[in-house]
Amino acid sequence: MNTRIRYNKNPNGVLVSKQILKADNGREYKVTVNPDGKTGSIIDAFTGDSSLIGPATSPHKIRLKIKQELERRGVKFIEETRKSKSKSTEENQGPSNAGDDN
């Protein structure tokens, strides 16, 4: 199971996935995002075949499209939830004693 796709930038400005993403059927994939951030590709590690993904309106949206296509191909991702920083700060401060005159 994969948690998320992490990228390294190569000298040409292309983002390349650090890890090989494995599907349930045994297939393995690498992912790239072009320097414009609006197109990307999924590369089959066994055959070398590349599938163009995009275009998208932003780098964030192309990454979402790539992840959706990988899920369609059988790659599983663990659902992760992140706590917002403001919530964790409130929890650490404890109850407020404002207005207590005792």
What predicted TM-score, i.e. pTM, was given to this entire model?
0.74
Q: CA-to-CA distance for 56 and 60, rounded, in angstroms?
A: 9
User: In the block, which residue shows the tokens 């075949």?
Assistant: 49
Give the per-residue pLDDT at 79: 82
Instruction: Please give the Cα distance from 62 to 52 (Å, whole number).
Output: 11
Q: What is the pLDDT, as a whole number, of residue 95? A: 54
pLDDT value for 4 = 85
Query: pLDDT (tens digit, 9 = 90+) per residue, 43-67?
Result: 999 999 999 998 999 999 999 999 9
Residues of the chain scoring pLDDT < 50: none
